[in-house]
């Protein structure tokens, strides 16, 4: 697959993943499923950051990665 996540996008994703992960870890909800959802969102953000591929970007034909021509 073609890489669709650029460097600025990667930085934003890591910062969001850290913030969401810390929030899920530091707070206690009455329903534990909320924490699980937040951890899943954190994992998705980190995986798309390290692979450089975002499936939603492919669906919407978005590309933040600079291409060398």
| pLDDT given for residue 12 in this prediction | 97
What digits encode the pLDDT tens for the residues 54-64?
999 989 998 99
What digits encode the pLDDT tens for the residues 30-46?
888 999 999 999 999 99
| Count helices and strands in the chain by DSSP H and E runs | 3, 0
Q: Are 52 and 65 in contact (CB under 8 A)?
A: yes
From its phi and psi, is residue 62 left (phi > 0), alpha (psi between -120 and 50) or beta? beta
What digits encode the pLDDT tens for the residues 5-29?
999 999 999 999 999 999 999 988 7
pTM of the model: 0.88
Q: Which residue has the higher pLDDT, 45 or 67?
A: 45
């Amino acid at each position: 697959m073609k890489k669709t996540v650029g460097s600025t996008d990667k930085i934003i994703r890591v910062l969001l993943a850290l913030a969401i992960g810390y929030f899920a870890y530091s707070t206690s909800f009455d329903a534990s499923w909320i924490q699980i959802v937040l951890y899943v969102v954190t994992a998705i953000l980190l995986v798309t950051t390290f692979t450089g591929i975002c499936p939603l970007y492919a669906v919407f034909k978005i590309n933040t990665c600079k291409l060398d021509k």
